[in-house]
Each structure stands twice: as structure tokens, then as C-alpha cells.
Amino acid sequence: MAAAGVEYQVVASENRNVTHNRAFAMRRKLIDVQIPFFIPVWRRVVVVALCFGWALLEVTAENTEWAVLAVGIAIYCAHQFFLAFDPKEK
């Protein structure tokens, strides 16, 4: 009877790892901006400029929480687009 319990624990552990790996892959795909769509530089510049523009709009409206969020997105995009950009060809 103990062997069946051990086997069940191993299967449950493997299922948890598979579920965790799928969830991690989905999260990674959700925030992956290094796609062929952004190969032209002008698209990357426009996205970063729009994010900083959104932050400026929120600052002028005195919505500091949204401004911080927009600046964070702009900084993330700027890093991904100009420092770490290596698009995956599909």
C-alpha cells in the first residue's frame, strides 16, 4: 500500500511541474515583445514614445499611480526594444 502512495506522490509532483511549466510559458509569451512585428525601428520608437506620452498625460492629470505604471511600461519596452532586441524569426 505504501508503494501506491509513493507512486501517487510522484505522479502528482510531475503533473504540478507540467502545469507550472505551461503557466510559465504562457506568462513569458504574454510579455514577449521581441517578435518580427517590431523589426522596423520606427514601430519600436512609436511604442516607447506613446508610453512616455501616456505617462506625461497621467502626470498632468495628477494620476501618479497610472503615470508610474506607464513609465514602467515605457522603460521595459525601451529596454526590450533597444538594448535586448533579438527578434525570433517564425
Q: Give yes or no for a contact between 2 and 48, defined as CB atoms under 8 angstroms apart.
A: no
Which of 69, 67, 50, 47 is CA-nearest to residue 58? 67
Per-residue pLDDT of 69-78, as tens digits, reads 999 999 999 9
Give 26-57 pLDDT, tens digit per residue.
Answer: 555 667 888 888 889 999 999 999 999 999 99
Residues listed for the chain:
90
Quickly tell me which residue has 502626470 as its cell.
59
Grid coordinates representing 31 are: 510579455
Domain ranges of the chain: 1-30, 34-90
Report pTM.
0.65
